Amino acid sequence: MHSFLRAALKSLTCLAVLGALAPLTAVAQGGSWPERPITLVVPYTPGGQFDAHARLLAKSLTTQLNQSVVVENKPGAGTTLGAEYVARAKPDGYTLLMAGATMFTIAPHTFPQLRYKIEDFQTVSLLNQLPMALIVNPSALPVKSFQEFVAYAKANPGKVDYATTGPGVATHLLGELTKAEVGIDIQPVHYKGTGPGMIDLAAGRVPATFDGYLAYAPMLKEGKLTALAISSDKRLPGAPDIPSFAELGYPGLSMSSWAGIVVPKGTPLTIVDKLQKAIVAAVRSEEVSSRMIADATVPMTSTPAEFDALIKRDDAVWGNLIRKIGGVKPE
């Protein structure tokens, strides 16, 4: 009898333990996610295009996941501050990062003391691509096409300047890549952001720039500036008159900035999968996709594997280029 009672008590104890562990297992696998608000970290100041797209995404995810998704801006150190914060966050699906190309494919080659690695993150999905345009002031540079730009630069080696938004960022590196791909000698003039460079471009103090199309759209529409080519495989839906570098015979210049969502490494794959499906639905929605197109970006989603492949490609291109030009020191 005592043996029977001991066996029965042992069985009940095992059942109780299993019952207590069941909710923990569900949480570990992400089965009940999300149960509380989610934070979407944006490594830029509020108000910009990157931030605006993050807030659109957060709005859609809030509806789909039936849980608040709150944007938290953490700018600084060339976007690396926000990336470092998320790299060290708990991998439970409640901290997301609005990642950009700079922090994963350029910063590792320009910030020697970077305190995170690509391997610290799990990719979820791309959101969009942001091609850059070669934009010139026709009063300062008498060219009407990319072919004329190349011919002029070859006839005037070292005499054509282009504005960048800082050393070691995409606007600088696309100019350096153009030099290498096309065989011309153009010189970077570094500014602290798009605004100061745009002022000098409009005034003709610097004749060209490689930068995102949107900020320059008003002056382009007025004819004060001219966009000669766009760094994408195809023409932008929002700017169909601008040829792509690829169609002009330079597919190696199809290097766009991009935005995507990543989470800390170790986040349960069930959560990653659920989040990825929600992101795809959000980007395909009329509200989000139409805004992205209007902002001269290309809506684009992906699987984690496709996202990983893009990071690997861009990392190789920018890394090789930075080594070729002897490195760059970000400001």
Q: What percent of the chain has pLDDT over 70?
A: 90
329 part of a folded domain: no
19 part of a folded domain: no
Tally of domains within the chain: 2
C-alpha span between 156 and 270 (Å, rounded): 57
C-alpha span between 172 and 95 (Å, rounded): 31
| 164 and 242 belong to one structural domain | yes
Instruction: Write the pLDDT tens digit of every residue in 3-49.
Output: 544 554 455 444 444 444 444 444 445 569 999 999 999 998 888 88
Q: Which residue shows structure tokens 């849980």?
A: 67
58 part of a folded domain: yes
Instruction: Write the pLDDT tens digit of every residue in 234-288.
Output: 888 888 999 999 999 999 999 989 999 999 999 999 999 999 999 999 999 999 9
- Strands (E) in the chain, as ranges, are 38-42, 69-73, 95-100, 121-130, 132-136, 160-164, 186-190, 208-212, 226-230, 257-264, 298-299
27 part of a folded domain: no
| 93 and 154 belong to one structural domain | no
| 137 and 239 belong to one structural domain | yes
14 part of a folded domain: no
| 188 and 103 belong to one structural domain | no
pTM for the structure as a whole = 0.83
| 103 and 163 belong to one structural domain | no
CATH of the domain at 189: 3.40.190.10
Q: Are 315 and 118 in contact (CB under 8 A)?
A: yes
Q: Domain of 284? A: 38-129+256-324
| 300 and 237 belong to one structural domain | no
